Chains A and B, each alone.
Chain A
Amino acid sequence: MTTVLADPPPITNTWAAPALATVVALVLAAVVFAIVRSVRGRTRTPDDFLLAGRNVGALPNAVTMVGGIILYSTVIISIGHIALNGLDAIYLVVAFTIGSVLGVLIYAAPLRNVGGYTLGDLFVLRARERPARIASAATTLVVFTMFMVVMLAAVGLVANRMFNTSSTVNKPFVAGVMFLVGLIVIAWVYMGGMAGVTRILVFKTILMVLAVAVLTVAVMAKYKMNMVHLLNDAQDHAPPNKSGAKLLEDGRLFSKGTTYNSGQDPWVHLSKLVCIAIGGMGMPWFFMRFHVARNGREARQSAGWASMITAAFFQCIIILGLGAVAILHAKNVQVVPEHRDATLPKLVDNLFGKWANGVLGGFALLSVAAILAAVLINGVTSFTKDINAARGRNPEPAAEVKDIRRNVLVIGFASLVLGTAMAPLLTHIFIPTSIDLGASVVLPSLLYSLYWRRFNTRGLMWTVYGGMVATLVMVVFSNGISGDPHNAMFAGLDFKIIDLEPGMISAPIGFLLGYLGTVTSRERNDAGFAEMRVRALTGAVIPAPKAPLARSADTGEPESRTPSEAH
């Protein structure tokens, strides 16, 4: 949708306050360094480094999950999207909240109760160890790579909009900021591990929620708290739309001809709403938050509170989107898709003046950097834990922490180089693609693992790799890659076949393949199913008699942890 270095049309930047934004960003970076330093003692065992000792309380964990949904695209771009497309864009934003409920109902308690670090720990209860671990690593690392690239691009977007006033993209500057922020994030994760990441997420969520709350009150105050006037003004001041629908009417994204060069409306927008609702929760770096909870009950609680806070938060985002068009009028709402993210800074400039954009710029940079940190530690977790298990290695905790720290550096640098190298491309497609994988790989494999007695190794393989290949092949032939001059990664080419969100088709394929793979294999593990069910529903772990106890005594782990979780 938006890009950094791919030469969007020039736009006069009337809002940025780069000097103040830089000061705010430096202050926030210093605060975060202090926060991270304060927890650096809590990174001595793999459990501590990767999962904050599984000791994050329900409320702070809920706040981190809210922070996980506060992305550049779900907040800043969404506000511009709503200002332009009204009701239909509002449904897109609500879909993220709907998707978060899946965490409460399905993911949270069973994942935490089964324990472990990754999806692989659930898969191995019935599938063969090595393929199960590799499947988990493949899923996690594909989503990890795409998210690292797209979040680094988001750093570039913030730098371009808020730390710079040139009308075209100042490429060396933007690339420099991306690289610098990437290095800082690697240092944060290296020092603080998951305890640090958790605190960074809490900090950034509080700042962003405060900023959005203040802006919402300012917008409402302009209308003397009268929602009807605000909506009327929004409707009257909205730019016209070729579908003929007014701002608060259905049709700006649904009606025929709204998708570029496509005859598949209204299925295109509908498929996006379906995929976000069923796939949004399936991002490993996000549902990893359930593993850091103290127990299954607290994981469920944190997911529930996160859903409620998110629902309220997005109401504010919607008011800001509609308020932007009501206050700024059509000529100031950015119609070019590449500039949708300029609508919010223009609104802020109008309400408070440039200084507020300086503050918002610092907050936004921290917000994006915090997501980068959360994604990085998830990639490192899967890379260390799943790959070690797949290779049959079971290192001592101290040696494993060394592995983990080395992986933070190696994986961090590798993805930083990749992300900066890919900055000239429109990589925004990676967010919907990750969500599609959540719907077509994670959701089916998780549901089958949790609820289907017969599910086995071949079923798992077919679901994971079949769903993944189906999704990725369709993404290549979708309008996110070619055939759309505004939104496509290769805007000049056109080998597009489908406009539907690929997950709409690949999710059923993932489920179907999982079924077929399972029933064509004779493997069956009823005892494994019994163990999985008992653990998922009760959180019980039968203490393993000797070895793990002795080991945890050596490393001086706190006694509160159950021994079998310590390995």
Chain B
Amino acid sequence: MGTLDSALNRDRYVAVHDSARFAALRRRSNTLTLWVSVTFFGFWFLTISLAAFAPDFFNHGLFGPFNVGLLFFFLSSFSVVVTTAVYMRLARARLDPLSEEIRADLEGDLG
């Protein structure tokens, strides 16, 4: 790839990057990733912090052999499935159509 070509390519990437459509995609993507990550990992760090520093709370019996610690374990396992499902769904609905449009335009220009 010649220097001239790659400089031209760079200009085209920059033009797309500065377009309003891409700004919308970037904003959506960042917001989604940020919120899902913060919620998911926030819950995990809360769980393990409670396990480390509030053993009495975790050992509080609920019924039979179940206690609060086991409940939090179920919730964190469940949160994996829920988070993944929600993220995949939202990404497909909110990010993929727009990103596909931008890609098709960018790759299509040259024919």
Contact = CB atoms under 8 A, between A and B. Distances in A.
Contacts, number: 173
B77 to A, nearest CB: 5
A429 B13 CA distance: 44
B52 interface: yes
B13 A531 contact: yes
Contacts of B100: 538
Interface string A223-242: 00000100110110000000
Contact of B5 (A308, A533, A544, A567): A544
Given A308-B81, A311-B77, A548-B1, A274 B48 contact: yes
B1 A543 contact: no
A254 B51 contact: yes
A344 interface: no
B84 A307 contact: yes
B41 to A, nearest CB: 7
A527 B13 contact: yes
Contact of A537 (B10, B12, B51, B99): B99
B78 to A, nearest CB: 8
Interface in A532-554: 533-535, 537-545, 547-548
A388 interface: no
B51 to A, nearest CB: 6
A214 interface: no
A94 B79 CA distance: 11
A104 B77 contact: no
Contacts of A529: 17
Contact of A235 (B47, B65, B91): B65
B65 A534 contact: no
Given A105-B87, A248-B69, A544-B1, A311 B13 contact: no
B103 A540 contact: yes
Contact of A542 (B9, B52, B70, B92): B9
A314 B36 CA distance: 23
B51 A249 contact: no
Contacts of B106: 534, 538, 540, 542
Given A87-B73, A106-B33, A250 B51 contact: yes
A270 interface: yes
A91 B17 contact: no
B1 A547 contact: yes
A357 B37 CA distance: 41
Contacts of B14: 526-527, 530-531
Interface in B67-96: 67, 69-70, 73, 76-77, 80-81, 83-85, 87-88, 91-92, 95-96
Contact of B55 (A231, A250, A314, A539): A250
B38 to A, nearest CB: 10
Interface in A506-534: 526-531, 533-534
Contact of B77 (A109, A315, A547): A315
A530 B11 CA distance: 9
A301 interface: yes
Contact of A251 (B17, B48, B59, B92): B59
Kindly name the residue among B13, B33, B70, B91 whose own CB sees the greatest number of chain A CB atoms within 10 A: B13
A530 B85 contact: no
A458 interface: no
Interface in B36-72: 36-37, 40-41, 44-45, 47-49, 51-53, 55, 58-59, 64-67, 69-70
Interface of B: 1, 5-6, 9-14, 16-18, 22, 25-26, 29-30, 33, 36-37, 40-41, 44-45, 47-49, 51-53, 55, 58-59, 64-67, 69-70, 73, 76-77, 80-81, 83-85, 87-88, 91-92, 95-96, 99-100, 102-103, 106-107, 110
Interface of A: 87-88, 90-91, 94, 97-98, 100-101, 104-106, 109, 228, 231-232, 234-235, 245, 248-251, 254-255, 266-267, 269-270, 273-274, 277-278, 297, 300-301, 304, 307-308, 310-311, 314-315, 451, 526-531, 533-535, 537-545, 547-548, 562, 567
Given A530-B18, A534-B102, A544-B9, 5 more contacts: A101-B84, A254-B55, A304-B88, A451-B30, A533-B22
